[in-house]
Structure 1
Amino acid sequence: MIEVRAMRVTDLIPYVNNARQHSDEQVAQIAASIREFGFNNPILCDGQKGVIAGHGRLLAARKLGLEMVPAIELAHLTETQKKAYILADNRIAENATWDEALVRVELEALRAEGFDTLLTGFDLQEESDTPLDRDEGPPLESVAVSLEGDVWLLGQHRLTCGDATVITDIDRAMGGVMADACWTDPPL
């Protein structure tokens, strides 16, 4: 049975190799969320009070001057599992996507109620700031910008508008250097 218990903020030890970085701005967002909604997501720690998950929440608790925070002890994890879970807990959540239309519906409903939508973590001060409202790119021009034979320099990379079956196009693309990799549009 998982037990949530109060632990002293000063007793919790952040994992020294935590790869997830929290900016001051994000810690302030977490602190504002805790202030508005409460500390609803306990910090996960090992049997020695080492933080496994919740480093940002711990930083926010310190910023708020909290003495105690809810925590769950995960004493059953091996050292290897702890290291893996620290990465997994942060990374797996990033693999989800947003339904932008539903986000807009929810944010508009919250705005209608007079709720500060910045507390949700969405910075939508302008009505056109959701991804659905953004242009997918500049309007198409009637005249092509790229013409056959053009070579575009992209940092150390070269992009050529040409025909891979024509040796002069290949020479122009390569600029006298052997390629490490090549992407083409087969069958040509």
Structure 2
Amino acid sequence: MPVIVARGWSDQQKRAYVIADNRLTDASEWDDEMLRLELNDLLEGGFELSLTGITEGEFSRLSVGVGELEAMPELPDGDRSPYRDLRLYGDQ
């Protein structure tokens, strides 16, 4: 099994890599609400979302970067994306 060593990557780079890596298969299914939350969180942190491999059309469909939306689920204060703490193989 191939392994990516993410030594020296920022947390945002690791999270964006996870998204981009999962985009490699067209057969993958997404939880649009969770993806929207994760992408907006990366955007708020100043990460360059084009590196995720997601198209501008998909960002628009997901309402990424639009700000607060009624359709987006609210997270209680202090809650974070469950993907934020994801560790990649080789991450120390």
Same structural fold, with TM-score higher than 0.5 when normalized by the shorter chain: no
Higher relative contact order structure (alpha carbons within 8 Å, sequence separation ≥ 6): 2
Structure with higher Rg: it is: 1
TM-score, normalising length: structure 1: 0.23
- Which has a greater percent of strand? 1
TM-score, normalising length: structure 2: 0.38
